[in-house]
């Protein structure tokens, strides 16, 4: 075990990095899309639609692809999920709509709903074809705190309904985890910002960047200044391992490194260890493990404290990690991080006894928690809401990862924002019956 970590940039050349970080699922051509759309049975009581958190009428949008009505298909998608382009890229369709597809049998594969959704939405989003005109101005203004999927979904729906919206965003770029926290090979060509530009093009949405709740703006002030407030603040702090040696150099929060990678102009300059250990079993753990390999790490170990069935990462994502050269270990909770100043390894406890893995870098990917927030009631570190996403505070709604019902999926956050916006609209128009 060496005390000199092998962490450096430029392990791979620019051409190899470009290939490694290319589109995970290349888009369908027109002929491919038509062939795939023709596989759909157009079920009357479609289980795929029931499985979609945003309720997209999947047979309807696929039928419109078959008739070359791309605009109509996109309207069916974006009318329910304004971030349908990103969700087509990052949504775990293999455990949602595609798993529910009646063609998903041992004999055949499900209809590739995600790729068809991308085929329909990409030209509309990239060409800024506005499908949703604004309603007449209501004279009401809503504060949306957080420019991630939940906040942007809420802001767009409110703008569409005729309200003016001000989005307060902590970071310099809006997009939340879509911009900072998702693997680069899932959203190439700066698509996150392209989609955001499309969302904002509806009008009526002002964005104030570098404005954090509790520091630059206070919740009680927003309640005084605006007619309603929506909180889509995500989970701002990474969880700690709570073990000896966690403070050693080379122990990094996975989400922070992914953010650095996503904002890097030149991946040849991004340092990575020769041997990497990732602690965690979710999507973030998969993303950092695979990207470490793609950057040139020679060995990457992903270690989870429970069994494979307990991992929140889907079977597809786990297979992606393994085919990318990541070794996955199960039922091995971490006990301590080894090293003198800089990490040299991690000790785990297994049924067979002690397991020690050498490491130049260790990534923590065991989830995030909500930063301290004054005002709304919280439970288990997340904001408590009712069925319409109202919090315990008057005039305040919430959605996305920060609420108790969150499951850390972009598609779920989009639905939260949409549902809250509909209820906020009722409240602002005096139609509130609760």
pLDDT tens across 63-108, in order?
999 999 999 999 999 999 999 999 999 999 999 999 999 999 999 9
Binned at pLDDT 50, 70 and 90, residue 381 comes out as confident
- Helix, strand and coil content of the chain, in percent to the nearest 5, comes to 35, 20, 45
Strand partners, 228: 142
221-247 as b/e: b if 16+ CB within 10 A: ebbeebbbbbbbbbbbebeebeeebee
Alpha-carbon torsion angle 307, 411, 74, 65, nearest 10 = 20
pLDDT 10s digits, 404-423: 876 889 999 999 999 999 99
pLDDT digits over 354-375, tens only? 999 999 999 999 999 998 788 9
Q: What is the DSSP letter of 390?
A: B
Determine phi and psi for 256, rounding to 5 degrees.
-70, -40
Binning pLDDT at 50, 70 and 90, where does residue 2 land? low
Query: What is residue 206's three-state secondary structure?
Result: strand
Examine the pLDDT at 1 and tell me if it is beyond 90. Answer: no
pTM: 0.95
Q: Do strands 382-383 and 378-379 pair parallel, antiparallel, or not at all (unpaired)?
A: antiparallel
Mean pLDDT over 311-335 rounds to 96
Q: Work out whether strand 141-145 and strand 7-8 pair parallel, antiparallel, or are unpaired.
A: unpaired
Reduce the DSSP state of residue 403 to 3 states and report it: strand
For residue range 210-242, what is the model confidence (pLDDT) as tens digits? 999 999 999 999 999 999 999 999 998 899 999
Which has the higher per-residue pLDDT, 226 or 432? 226
433 pLDDT above the threshold of 70 = no
Q: Which pLDDT does position 237 carry in this prediction?
A: 87
Tell me how crowded residue 107 is: count the other CB atoms within 10 A of its CB. Answer: 5
Distance CA 148, CA 200 (A): 13
pLDDT, mean over the chain: 96
State whether residue 144 is helix, strand or coil: strand
How high is the pLDDT of residue 329?
97
Altogether, the residues listed in the chain come to a count of 434
β-sheet bridge partners, residue 336: 244, 347
pLDDT average, residue stretch 388-398: 97
Rounded to whole angstroms, how far apart are CA atoms 199 and 144?
14
Inter-CA distances, 344 with 19, 187, 243, 274, 334, Å: 30, 33, 15, 12, 14
Q: Give me the domains of the chain, ranges plus CATH numbers.
A: 7-21+238-367 (3.50.50.60), 39-126 (1.10.1060.10), 141-236+370-428 (3.50.50.60)
CB neighbour class for 34 (10 Å; exposed up to 12, middle 13-18, buried from 19): middle
Q: At what angle do helices 70-78 and 58-66 cross, to 10 degrees?
A: 170
Can you tell me whether residue 377 is helix, strand or coil?
A: coil
Each residue of 103-156: pLDDT tens digit?
999 999 999 999 999 999 999 999 999 999 999 999 999 999 999 999 999 999
Cα 209 to Cα 212: distance, rounded to the nearest angstrom = 9
Q: Are 303 and 332 in contact (CB under 8 A)?
A: yes
pLDDT in tens, 18-70: 999 999 999 999 999 999 999 999 999 999 999 999 999 999 999 999 999 99
């Amino acid at each position: 075990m060496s005390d000199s970590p092998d962490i450096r940039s430029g392990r791979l050349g620019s051409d190899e990095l470009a290939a490694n970080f290319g589109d995970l699922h290349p888009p369908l051509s027109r002929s491919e899309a038509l062939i795939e759309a023709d596989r759909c049975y157009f079920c009357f009581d479609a289980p795929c639609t029931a499985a979609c958190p945003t309720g997209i009428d999947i047979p309807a949008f696929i039928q419109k692809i078959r008739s070359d009505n791309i605009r109509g298909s996109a309207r069916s998608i974006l009318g329910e999920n304004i971030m349908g382009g990103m969700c087509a890229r990052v949504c775990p369709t293999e455990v949602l709509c595609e798993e529910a597809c009646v063609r998903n049998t041992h004999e055949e594969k499900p209809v590739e709903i995600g790729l068809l959704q991308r085929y329909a939405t990409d030209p509309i989003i990239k060409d800024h074809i506005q499908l949703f005109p604004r309603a007449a101005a209501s004279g009401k203004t809503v504060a949306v705190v957080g420019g991630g999927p939940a906040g942007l979904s809420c802001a767009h729906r409110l703008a569409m309904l005729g309200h003016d919206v001000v989005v307060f965003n902590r970071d310099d770029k809006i997009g939340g985890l879509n911009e900072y926290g998702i693997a680069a090979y899932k959203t190439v060509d700066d698509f996150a910002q392209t989609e955001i530009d499309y969302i904002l093009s509806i009008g009526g949405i002002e964005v104030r960047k570098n404005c954090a709740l509790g520091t630059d703006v206070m919740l009680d002030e927003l309640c005084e200044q605006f007619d309603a407030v929506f909180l889509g603040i995500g989970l701002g702090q990474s969880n700690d391992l709570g073990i000896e040696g966690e403070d050693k150099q080379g122990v990094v929060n996975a989400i922070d490194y992914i953010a650095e990678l996503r904002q890097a102009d030149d991946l040849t300059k991004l340092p990575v260890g020769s041997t990497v250990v990732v602690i965690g079993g979710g999507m973030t753990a998969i993303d950092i493990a695979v990207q470490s390999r793609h950057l040139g790490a020679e060995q990457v170990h992903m270690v989870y404290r429970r069994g494979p069935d307990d991992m929140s990462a889907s079977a597809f994502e786990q297979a992606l990690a393994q085919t990318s050269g990541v070794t996955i270990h199960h039922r091995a909770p971490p006990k301590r991080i080894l090293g003198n100043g800089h990490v040299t390894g991690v000790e785990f406890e297994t049924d067979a006894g002690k397991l020690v893995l050498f490491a130049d870098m260790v990534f923590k990917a065991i989830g995030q928690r909500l930063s301290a927030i004054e005002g709304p009631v919280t439970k288990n570190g997340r904001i408590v809401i009712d069925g319409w996403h109202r919090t315990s505070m008057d005039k305040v709604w919430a959605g996305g990862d920060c609420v108790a019902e969150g499951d850390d999926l972009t598609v779920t956050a989009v639905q939260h924002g949409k549902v809250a916006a509909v209820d906020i609209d009722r409240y602002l128009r005096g139609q509130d019956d609760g």
